[in-house]
Amino acid sequence: MSAPASPLAASPRLILASASPRRRELLGRLGLTADAVSAADIDETPAPREEPRAYARRMAREKAAAVESETACVLAGDTVVAVGRRILPKAEDEATARACLELLSGRRHRVLSAVALRAPDGTVRERLSETVVRFKQLSREEIAAYLAGGEWEGKAGGYAIQGAAEGLIAWISGSHSGVVGLPLFETRALLRAAGFAIA
């Protein structure tokens, strides 16, 4: 007689629709490792007058839809930094990162982190985390030092909270993991609802 299957064996297969090492690390904190990683390649241009919350949700859904699988669940996320209704760009050059940091200096902003889980039958579940973050008043020297470290490259709003920028953040209310890139409370809820064995 064969031994009964362990609870973990009953979990569905999981594809992470992101090449981000930060999201892989965060997923690991839930005790899960994706069976495959397939970065979704989509147009991330905001629609005209699209609000930050709607944009974050749409991006997560579209990333989940862009990775095809009939046998696995697909997990996708998107993180948006917003000041009011303004969506800050991902900093691809130092000038953009500097402009973002100057805008964020001494003021509160929102980080919206959406996560979507697509089941093999095409059903999509989604959740959204909203965190409020406030930088200290940044001096020109502090901005220059942060830019010199290169952590801003490709980051929404020109900073990464898990690096040196954390020392410049005076206050945060909400999900730290959401600001990093994958809100663990919301992600855990989605995965458990889909049948993943998470304590």
- Among the listed residues 35, 41, 43, 78, the single catalytic one is 78
Going by the DSSP 8-state scheme, the letter that residue 154 receives in this structure is: T
Distance between CA 113 and CA 55 in Å, rounded?
10
In the residue annotation, 78 being an active-site residue is answered as yes
Q: Write phi, then psi, for 198 (nearest 5 degrees).
A: -125, 130
> Pairing relation of β-strands 124-135 and 72-83?
unpaired
Non-local (6+) Cβ contacts of 100 within 8 A are 81, 88, 89, 91, 152, 157, 158, 159
Here the tokens at position 59 are 């991006």
Distance between CA 157 and CA 82 in Å, rounded?
8
List, by residue number, the catalytic residues: 78
